[in-house]
Structure 1
């Protein structure tokens, strides 16, 4: 789901993101949703997750893949 960019959010970039301007995403929360955007498209579209969907997403990322 894409949303209009809310004002006043504090965006965070992963510590694993390089400083060379490569492919990165940023994450912010407004208290009701976790928002993700492309760090190169600051005014572009965002995808938002409910807190429980975000938790499931992050947990799934941490699982070992065969």
Structure 2
């Protein structure tokens, strides 16, 4: 689901793997049972939300290399 980032009461964070790329990163925010994601270059723009279980499965798949080219 996508909503305006401003409509979420969340503390946004960047990955520890992000470096200073001039604000070019994805930021996340944890809600009770949801993970929100937004583009750091557009902090007032859209945010996408995912059920926590789905987000955790995605992170697990990335860590396992399932999306490596």
- Compute the TM-score of the two structures, normalised by the length of structure 2: 0.81
State the number of aligned residues. 66
Unaligned segments of structure 2, at least 5 residues: none
- In the TM superposition, 1:1-66 aligns within 5 A as 1-5=1-5, 6-21=7-22, 23-64=24-65, 65=68
Higher strand share goes to which structure?
A: 2
- CA contact under 8 A between 2:23 and 2:40: conserved in structure 1? no
Unaligned segments of structure 1, at least 5 residues: none
- Compute the TM-score of the two structures, normalised by the length of structure 1: 0.84
Runs of 4+ in 1 over 4 A off after TM superposition: none
